[in-house]
Amino acid sequence: ETGVTQSPTHLIKTRGQQVTLRCSSQSGHNTVSWYQQALGQGPQFIFQYYREEENGRGNFPPRFSGLQFPNYSSELNVNALELDDSALYLCASSLEPLASSTDTQYFGPGTRLTVL
């Protein structure tokens, strides 16, 4: 069973640029959630994709957008980068949107984004 993978591991961008982060979900999982973890903080929910449709969104501006592909892998795109976007971006996959008490989100190792 393949776990959740993310790429790249690290990324450095400058303010105003655009970035795309990628996530491959665990085998058999059809739901992907993205979280932003600022240094010293807990992860904050960005959005979730279920069967290629956005299924919920946290308190993030529209310049944060995403996609999910037919193989259930996913992308997070951030436009017009700001200094405060510097964070660890985590992807988590699950079989369904935690619809039952047995469901669990499995996290990838994250992508560390630094905005200069």
Q: State whether residue 83 is helix, strand or coil.
A: helix
Please give the size of the binding site for other proteins, defined by CB under 8 A: 28
Q: Which stretch binds other proteins (CB under 8 A): 13-21, 34-42, 60-68, 70-78?
A: 34-42
Pairing outcome for strands 74-78 and 64-68: antiparallel
- The whole-angstrom separation of Cα 23 and Cα 28 is 14
Between 92 and 115, CB nearer to other proteins: 92
| Interacting residue with other proteins among 30, 45, 52, 65 (CB under 8 A) | 45
Least distance CB 68 / other proteins (angstroms): 13
Cβ burial of 71 (10 Å; 0-12, 13-18, 19+) is exposed
d(CA 87, CA 100): 30
Residues 83-102 that bind other proteins (CB under 8 A): 90, 92, 97-99, 101
The answer to whether residue 104 forms part of the interface with other proteins (CB under 8 A) is yes
Beta carbon of residue 43, minimum distance to other proteins (angstroms, whole number):
5
Token digits of residue 16: 């105003």
CA 68 to chain centre: 11
- Chain residues in the site for other proteins (CB under 8 A): 4, 33, 35, 40-45, 48, 50, 55-58, 90, 92, 97-99, 101, 104-110
